[in-house]
Amino acid sequence: MRLSGEAMRRLRHKRALLSAAVLAATLAVAVGASAHWHSGGYEHGGKDTTCTGRGVDPVGVVFHGTAATIRYLGGNHGDINFHTNWTEHSPEADAYYETYSVCKKEDDQVAESFGFPRSRYHIRLWQLPQDYSPGKHAVAGTPHHENWIWYRENNGCGTPYPWNPGNHAIDPGAVDRGAGYQREFGPSGYDKARSYLARAFHTNHHTIEHVDWHNSASHRSCEGYWVGSNGTVDLISVGTP
């Protein structure tokens, strides 16, 4: 059956609308998650107080819901401690994060152990300054696993003893360095820590959604290896989501 010219125009119009809808849905999956929280994909170093420099550690988790506050999640008796046994380590090196157009220092840090001279899991936490919905809060975190590297083993980490005999280095791995690099090193310290948290919070009291923020840009650790996330962020509900 041959369609009239008007019917053909209508059919092409419907196809164009469908293609636009598919494209919009694809973009929403790619960027909608981070836009929802009005926040960046990376933390910034302790001297970057304006959050205008290059990002460093990627966001790997966003806690959200009626109980998603630093007071509930952080410290020695918060929900992160309950699920992981990680404890308060706020006096350690600071970092900044841009959220809702505010560049702010972390609100808390919890870790598997004190930094010197141990390898450990570590996360910095930022309370987002605005609720994403009435009564619904959010806390962004940059979880990572880091190895302690002595200066005598790698002169890129630390300075000669006794001033700074070593430093932490994220476990190597970076998806943006190609499949060969991933095969050689496997998941990075960012991906290991995010997965560890997701397993720890995998209970009936929490929901976990894995979304792609595309924050997979890598950088070199003090060891000289490339380190980066695979771009996934886990959205973990705390309280009523």
For 167-193, the pLDDT digits (tens) are: 999 999 999 999 999 999 999 999 999
4 assigned to some structural domain: no
Q: Compute the distance between CA of residue 62 and CA of residue 96 in angstroms, rounded to an integer.
A: 16
What is the domain extent for residue 80?
38-237
pLDDT the model gives residue 131: 94
Q: Which two tokens stand for residue 110?
A: 């919890």
Locate all alpha helices (DSSP H) within the chain, ordered by sequence. 5-27, 33-37, 70-73, 79-84, 179-185, 189-200
How many domains does the chain divide into?
1
Mean pLDDT of 223-236: 97
E-state strands within the chain: 61-65, 87-88, 96-99, 102-105, 108-111, 120-127, 137-141, 144-150, 166-170, 208-212, 219-220, 226-227, 232-237
Q: Which two tokens stand for residue 44?
A: 């910034």
19 assigned to some structural domain: no
For the ranges 36-45, 104-113, 227-236, which has the lowest average pLDDT?
36-45
33 assigned to some structural domain: no
30 assigned to some structural domain: no
**DSSP label at 39?**
B
85 assigned to some structural domain: yes
Q: Compute the distance between CA of residue 70 and CA of residue 80 in angstroms, rounded to an integer.
A: 10
In the chain the first and final C-alpha atoms are separated, in Å, by 52
18 assigned to some structural domain: no
State the pTM of this model.
0.84
For the chain, count helices (H), then strands (E).
Answer: 6, 13
Q: With a cut of 80, say whether residue 236 has pLDDT above it.
A: yes
Rounded percentage of the chain residues whose pLDDT exceeds 90:
73
pLDDT in tens, 77-105: 999 999 999 999 987 889 999 999 999 99
Residue type, 158: G
